[in-house]
Amino acid sequence: MTPREQTIERPTSVWPWITMGVAGTVTFIASMAVGPDAVQGQLSRIMYVHVPAAWLAYLAFFVTMAASAMYLWRKDLAWDRRAASSAEIGVVFTGLAIGLGMIWAKPTWGVWWTWDARLTLTAIMFFVYLGYLALRRTTTDLNARAKRSAILGVLAVVQVPLVHFSVVWWRTLHQPPTLLKPEPIDMDTSMLVTLGIAVVSFTVMYVAMMFKRIELARLEDEITEMQQTADVPIAGEAVTAPALERGA
């Protein structure tokens, strides 16, 4: 079989789409079923998407770091695909967390944006991981791309604890951690259960998204490899057919 005749297998798994749909629906129903907050009213419902989105961003960037470290250790491109897929999902959910936070902030604080440590550091984290994704587009050499982005993937994760603990280390307008803290959680039970359902649903959604994105990344890598090898003669340009003398 010549390289031109190579084909790639089309992904057929449907369960990730169904899982994402179910998880999204469960979050929506749970966040609508719970009563409004006594102070913030209906606006508090944003929290059931904002908090899980932020949690997912943390999780995704930690997975990127772990998969990047595994790539540097094992030199297996499968780990690179996991790292990149997770970073991509993390960027989407960081953007979602920032966007929803801004929508919540306008009626609550009176401004779309304020120079608060949590907000500023989250924006910086967003741009650094955008840089990570941009870095992956600078070369088509799969191994070079994997190694460069793995180093950045390991380094960039330092921002996650910075973002999380910024509300503890600095006096900020943003409220301190509600769930991920050593002290007991001070929250209404129905709201806490709803938030828990949303966090679990988003985590399940992340797993499904990861599955589909890794599948897609594998196909992208296969296409890149096929494109790079399709028109290349087996022995390169160095070998040419010998010129035989007539009658020899």
Partner 1 sequence: MIGFGSQAALIARRDILRERRSGEVLWVTLPFGAIALLLVPLAVGTDAPMLRQIGPGIFWVVVMLFGVFISIRQTSSETDAQRDQLALSGLDPAAVYFGRALASFLFLLGFQLVLGFVTVVLYDISLEGWLILPLTFVIVAAGLSLLGTLAAGIVATGQNAAALVPLLVAPLSIPLLIGATQALEALQLGRSSLTWVLMMIVTVIVLAIAGVLSAQPLQETR
Binding site for partner 1 (CB under 8 A): 72, 120, 124, 127-128, 130-131, 134-135, 137-139, 143-144, 147-148, 151-152, 155, 158
**Least distance to partner 1, CB of residue 237, Å:** 19
CA nearest to 68, candidates 139, 160, 133, 148? 148
148 vs 174, beta carbon nearer partner 1: 148
205 Cβ contact list (under 8 Å, min separation 6):
19, 20, 23, 24, 56
**Least distance to partner 1, CB of residue 169, Å:** 11
Task: Assess contact for 214 and 67: CB atoms under 8 A.
Answer: no
**Least distance to partner 1, CB of residue 153, Å:** 11
CA distance 245 to 248: 6
96 vs 151, beta carbon nearer partner 1: 151
Strand, coil or helix: what is 37? strand
20 vs 150, beta carbon nearer partner 1: 150
17 vs 127, beta carbon nearer partner 1: 127
**Least distance to partner 1, CB of residue 94, Å:** 13
**For residue 199, how many other CB atoms are within 10 A of its CB?**
19
